[in-house]
DNA sequence: CGTTGTTAGTTACAAAATCAACTGTTAACA
DNA sequence: TGTTAACAGTTGATTTTGTAACTAACAACG
């Protein structure tokens, strides 16, 4: 096996996907990190609330597939920084509705524009048809179903 | 922004890539974790040595783009478990050549087969043409160049 | 030589992710 | 009701990662 093994890491999908994901996340990461001191989990929660409006931690978990402890901690930090507020449900007091404050909405709108620009820059490197195929396949892989 | 924001996370490339990468890594992760107690960094180092034969930590870093501290720790664990050996270069004693032991080669060959099977299963879900486009785009994104 | 800079790799400390156990609440049903 | 199970969310302990500073070795050049 020493020299010239026939297996190629650059063709192994999980490896390749991870490398592409890492590289493409980096630029955007610098923005939310430098500008708002956020973590990946935090901008994700922010975006979910920005896009869908008021929702519970549980619902965010279902949509994002993030583990509830990550969400709990991200929510705590966003609340601490006054980007969101929490209200208990009157009927079922286990539930807590999360909603962005005005500051949170401002941050969301700002980052959304950065995301759109970033996405366009990436998309511009490929044809529209290729990009459509690409996203369709990513969604299929992300959804998992064998 | 509350309801029906026009931005869609499912179209935002860094997010989508991360989700696809996470899902597609999971099955393989379970194998190297359960079967050999390895971490992601560890199987990567193992594969580099399995594919390319004897090389230094620096060279692994150049090929994999992993940070040298990750590699250092992965190498330490693999050495501890007798999957690889280290020899100092006689001429330049800063360099350390890493090489798989027989046990390391066995683990590599085993995991390589799992990887191949896993990869085929993923590939089988798409046409060959789509898969070629997909990998070409992933490589372009991974290589970074704007 | 000897000083300064560079390189390969490691270690120490802080930040973050993961897993399990926990609190407080509602639901089910004998 | 009372007891047990299920659920939303939090907390704590452990593991893993990331950042910086470090050690040991070589190189360049006065």
Q: Is the CB of A11 under 7 A from strand C?
A: no
A25-143 folds as Arc Repressor Mutant, subunit A (1.10.10)
Q: In the predicted model, is pLDDT for residue A129 greater than 70? A: yes
pLDDT at A145: 66
Q: Which nucleotides of D are covered by protein (CB under 7 A)?
A: 7-12, 16-20, 24-27
Q: Where are the domains of chain B?
A: 25-141
Residue of A nearest to B123 (CA): A13
Measured in angstroms, what separates residue A94's CA from nucleotide D4's C1'? 19
Burial code (b: 16+ CB inside 10 Å, e: under 16) for B19-49 equals bbbbbbbeebbebbeeebebbbbbbbbbbbb
pLDDT at B144: 77
Residue B9's SS3 state is helix
Alpha helices in B12-123 (DSSP H): 13-36, 40-52, 57-64, 68-80, 102-123
Residue B85's contacts (CB-CB under 8 Å, 6 or more residues apart) are B79, B98, B99, B101
Q: Please provide the average confidence, as pLDDT, over all residues in chain A.
A: 94
CATH no., domain B25-141: 1.10.10.10
Mean pLDDT in consecutive groups of 10 residues from the start of chain B, 146 residues: 74 95 93 96 98 97 95 98 96 97 97 96 96 96 78
- Any idea which nucleotide's C1' is nearest the CA of A74? C16
pLDDT level of residue A28 (50, 70, 90 thresholds): very high
For residue range B43-83, what is the model confidence (pLDDT) as tens digits? 999 999 999 999 999 999 999 999 999 999 999 999 999 99
| Distance of residue B50 Cα from the nearest chain A Cα, in angstroms | 7
């Amino acid at each position: 096996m020493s020299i010239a093994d026939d297996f190629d890491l650059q063709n192994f999908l999980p490896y390749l996907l991870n490398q592409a994901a890492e590289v493409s996340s980096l630029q955007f990461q610098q923005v939310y990190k430098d500008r708002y001191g956020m973590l990946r989990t935090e901008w994700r929660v922010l975006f979910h609330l920005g896009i869908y409006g008021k929702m519970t931690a549980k619902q965010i978990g279902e949509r994002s597939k993030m583990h509830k402890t990550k969400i709990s901690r991200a929510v705590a930090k966003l609340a601490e920084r006054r980007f969101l507020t929490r209200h208990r449900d009157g009927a079922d007091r286990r539930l807590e509705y999360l909603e962005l404050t005005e500051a949170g909405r401002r941050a969301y709108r700002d980052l959304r524009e950065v995301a759109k620009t970033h996405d366009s820059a990436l998309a511009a490197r490929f044809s529209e048809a290729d990009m459509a195929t690409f996203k369709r396949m990513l969604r299929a892989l992300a959804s998992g179903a064998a």
